[in-house]
Amino acid sequence: MSEAFAPRAASTASPSSPPSDALTHVELTHIEKRIENWIRFGHHAHEQLLDRRRRILSFPPGCIFAFVRWASNDFGT
């Protein structure tokens, strides 16, 4: 049998991609007076901006952080 597999090139992570899959990824959303997600405490290892209202924070294993979710609709919070 002949092997027709091409060798894989080593991939390098771009600055906009998270550095590792071992991290815990948290998506934060902020839509004024509708949805607000934020981190109360904790130190993130990586931050990726998706757009004006969304970003992803990545935390290393064993890191303690607090995620706060606030939401509102036509009837209140």
pLDDT band for 15, please (50, 70, 90 cuts).
low
Structure confidence at residue 8 (pLDDT):
42
Is pTM beyond 0.85 here?
no
The DSSP annotation for the chain comes to ----PPPPPPP---TTS-S-TTSEEEEEEEETTTEEEEESS---SEEEE-SSSEEEEEE-TT----EEEEE-BTTB-
Bridge partner list, 67: 39
**Between 44 and 1, residue with greater pLDDT:** 44
How does pLDDT run across 26-43, given as a tens digit for each residue?
A: 999 999 989 999 999 999
